Structure 1
């Protein structure tokens, strides 16, 4: 390393200490920051609590120009931007729930090039008012960051189809910018198995991305699966678990808004200070619940998957999944909210007995999601026969119910490509797979969660293999999951 490089890196470390107060980076934060400053594409898989946000925030703040942060949830954007504002840093966010005056102020700041970081969802990024401003030749854009990149894989096909158009964003922006402009893309997530990593690379059209892949294993997380025989038994096991952890901070994850409200009401009647958190709450209600939990006024929150991303509370001593998550990637994300201070944290998942005769809720829920997914794939297959050889998303979305989702599915199957973020072109059938094959692959991913719940091997060993860390998994035993403890 030459003298000038050393000096500039010392400046990076000095800025890090000045802004966040830390003396040095945790591995591999420094390496990731160096890569982004050099405008390299990157794929970063770091465990929850690994300090991912600093890795893209610091390079953005050290460069002249704008970095776009594509984020899946309003709560996640608001939390990160609020922290940056407290540090008096030039960051803003755009989403559909913003008051009109605040949205106008942010768009004006964007036009005046007063921002270093702009947080927005895929849908907001591709909205006309925002896209037109981003395409202005004088607006310098350094990079695109996809935060919580596993959402592209989990939601892109059948829930948030705008995710699958993100790969066309960079080429379209470069056409509007001066010759020689370089825009890098980096994808950050805590969970991505080898197949998900390849999907992220392909969809985003990453160019020789530098990989930073760190094992999800956390030795202080104690994993346990417990069978409950009846709905009443599920309630009682949860209560017993919480009673054994008086005054310890925790989280209870449920699958639906209704369940979060019903469970909160029941626990409240027993004297517990808690709240139901889900996507149906107003921003003010969400912030109030988060603040109460972060300050310790509420011992725990009963929440859907809308809670947790980007909310940093180190002393979470337990996490309960009242029902099993659909996907392993969801599970590892959510149990990872526990024990970020390095101290032990218990992660309990309650599941119905295997046959589902006495408590059919889990079985019915799995079947509902599988049936819904199959229906969406079948609708997409019917639509492909009606699609013109090329067209635009807005028109198809207006003409056909779930038209945008159908286009996303056809893109995943290789049956169409994006000319730009708004226009598609059908491909020759010889280059694609069938939607039935794609559906079967998705069902296989969902079955992986069931395999994890039923495995007799060390749970962390199963997870390491599932996420592609085969060398680390060989002969591994954590000694503190329920399967290891029973041996």
Structure 2
């Protein structure tokens, strides 16, 4: 570390106004300043952005922050600008003028932090700039890195190519150049941690694991028997939480719009939020929710990442998420101020006869996944043993996803971010479905568990608690008598 630690602390106090770091912020910052790789699992609201923003600001050179959502990038850059700091973002919705301005700022080495998506990082125009020998890159940060395992195979295949980025950049830089990689997330079980380290090719990373346990966060699962009963259960829960701020998570854009319309008919100040909205609409809803003009948003998983609002008192999962990592991310957006907060997840009765929504939705996602995997099986024999991503995308509509699936199974490696080499042509359905089935089964086990809900979550994420551990706040510990009316 070239810069004195007292100078780092002074910069921290001057910019953010805090007297000292929260554990383990200081240790993470030291690690990044020392140029070491890191995997950081820090619960929502743990102050992770400071962990990589501060090292970027006290060093010379560019820190690249890879982020999954435009809304998340916009929030982070907006906060930087409010602090009077140097930061920019690149994404597909930018005007040509703004894009050119940012690219010029990179060329002239006037930026400390650059936020972008995996797809933008892997775009040829940007790559031609950042791979130039004179462009100094000090670090690559993967924010919300759990998206790599959740989306990397079938939805955002660019994530599977990120491990080749540092390796390729260093070939173009002066000898002795170091580029540290740090991966940040609020949720990663041991299996996910291993996959992140392997895919990103982290070198002897320092690992920081902080328990996601929040004693002020009360967890409840409720079975509903009809679609009408689902609405009534949500309404009863919101009424019990009076006029407090909250979020209601649904699993589709259409659901967010239909449910928001129903709540508006009951004179609630709500908005539907999903990835289909343009940037200005999303920003308006976020600001109105943060300011309290909107009591709650009916939203898909696109909402919440990176938004800092301490007084969220309730979270409703109108539909249960497919993955336990999504669940803990989303409930973790409540009660950041350490005051009591309540969460409710609504699930269909076991048969699905009277309220088939959950079963239908789960089957739809399963069919979609199966079709993608079958397409990969059909396509693998047609793909050349070596090739480049641009040609494959041109020739085969499902080619990029197939390459991502093969990479996830160890049947393919990336020579650089744009060129691959196959290791084997053998691909079985068993290989493809095994991992996904494990995670879906885990979520179902959580919904049906008879033990303390927090104990189940902590064990799922690799935190061993004492046998007699009970949170005392969840529906299992309280015998279902959690706040409802």
Task: Give the TM-score range, shorter chain.
Answer: over 0.9
Structure-1 residue corresponding to 2:120: 124
- Computed over aligned residues only, the root mean square deviation of the Cα atoms, in angstroms, reads 1.3
Q: Distance in 2 between matches of 1:443 and 1:377?
A: 13
Deviations 1:356-403 (A, max 9, x none): 110111011111111211221121122111111100111111211221
Partner of 2:252: 256
- Per-residue deviation, 1:219: 0.5
Q: 1:454 aligns with which of 448, 451, 462?
A: 448
Q: Which residue of 2 aligns with 1:166?
A: 162
Give the equivalent residue in structure 1 for 2:42. Answer: 46
The two structures have a TM-score, normalised by structure 1, of 0.97
Q: Is the CA contact (8 Å cut-off) linking 1:413 and 1:435 kept in structure 2? A: no
Partner residue, 2:388? 392
The worse-fitting range, judged by mean Cα deviation, of 14-23 and 397-406 is 397-406
For structure 1, the residue ranges without an aligned partner over 5 or more in a row are none
1:78-119 Cα deviation digits (max 9, x unpaired)? 000000011111100000001111111111111110000000
Shift in Å, 1:428:
4.1
Instruction: Name the counterpart of 2:180.
Output: 184
State which drifts further: 433-442 or 117-126.
Answer: 433-442
Cα pair 1:409 1:435 within 8 Å, conserved: no
Quote how far apart the aligned CAs of 1:438 are: 3.3
* Structure 2 Cα separation of the partners of residues 43 and 473 of structure 1: 26
1:332 matched residue in structure 2: 328
Deviation at 1:129, TM superposition (A): 1.1
Contact 1:16–1:22 (Cα < 8 Å) also in 2: yes
Asked whether the equivalents of residues 248 and 317 of structure 2 are also in contact (C-alpha less than 8 Å), the reply is yes
Helix, strand or coil for the counterpart of 2:353? coil
Instruction: Output the CA distance in 2 between the equivalents of 1:347 and 1:428.
Output: 46
1:138 Cα deviation after fit: 0.4
Structure 2 unaligned runs (5+)?
A: 481-485
Matched, 1:474 2:467: yes
What SS does the aligned partner of 1:317 have?
strand
Determine helix, strand or coil for the equivalent of 2:162. Answer: helix
| SS of equivalent to 1:417 | strand
Give the match's secondary structure for 2:297.
strand
Q: Post-superposition shift, 1:474?
A: 3.3
For the Cα contact (< 8 Å) 1:315–1:341, is it kept in 2?
A: yes
| Secondary structure of 2:183's aligned partner | strand
In the alignment, the residues of structure 2 paired with residue 469 and residue 359 of structure 1 have an alpha-carbon distance, to the nearest angstrom, of 35
CA distance in 1, matches of 2:373, 2:427: 13
Matches for 1:374-385 after TM superposition, within 5 Å: 374-385=370-381
1-structure distance, mates of 2:369, 2:258: 27
Secondary structure at the counterpart of residue 4 of structure 2: helix
Instruction: Provide the rounded CA distance (Å) in 2 between the counterparts of 1:170 and 1:39.
Output: 13
Which of the residues 266, 289, 294 maps onto 1:293?
289
Instruction: Confirm or deny: 8 A CA contact 1:52 1:188 kept in the other structure.
Output: yes
Q: After superposition, what is the alpha-carbon deviation per residue over 1:129-180, rounded to whole angstroms, capped at 9, x for unaligned?
A: 1111111110000010000000000000010000000000001100111111
Q: Give the whole-Å Cα distance in 1 for the aligned partners of 2:378 and 2:447.
A: 36
Deviation at 1:202, TM superposition (A): 0.5
Q: Distance in 1 between matches of 2:410 and 2:219?
A: 38
Instruction: Return the match for 1:306 from 302, 318, 325.
Output: 302
- Matched with 2:457 is 463
Partner Cα distance (2:331, 2:299) in 1: 13
Three-state SS of the structure 1 residue aligned to 2:312 is coil
Write out per-residue CA displacement over residues 201-231 of structure 1, whole angstroms, 9 at most, x where no aligned residue: 0000000000001111110100000011000
1:435 positional shift? 5.0
Q: What pairs with 1:346-357 in structure 2 (closer than 5 Å)?
A: 346-357=342-353
Alignment length (residue pairs): 480
Determine helix, strand or coil for the equivalent of 2:22. coil
CA contact (8 A) 1:352 1:362 kept: yes
Aligned to 2:108: 112
More displaced, 123-132 or 69-78?
A: 123-132
**Structure 2 counterpart of 1:441:** 435
Separation in 1 of the partners of 2:427 and 2:336? Answer: 42
Whether contact under 8 Å (2:377, 2:427) holds in the other structure is: no
Q: 1:317 aligns with which of 309, 313, 318?
A: 313
Write out aligned runs for 1:20-419 (5 A): 20-419=16-415
- Alpha-carbon distance in structure 2 between the residues aligned to 1:16 and 1:438: 46
- C-alpha offsets along residues 31-90 of structure 1, whole Å, 9 cap, x if unaligned? 000000000000000111000000000000010000000000000000000000111111
Distance in 2, matches of 1:97 and 1:446, equals 33
CA distance in 1, matches of 2:377, 2:211: 38
**Contact in 2 for aligned 1:414/1:433 (Cα 8 Å):** no
Larger mean Cα displacement after TM superposition, 390-399 or 18-27: 390-399
Could you tell me how far apart the structure 1 residues matched to 2:298 and 2:364 are?
A: 23
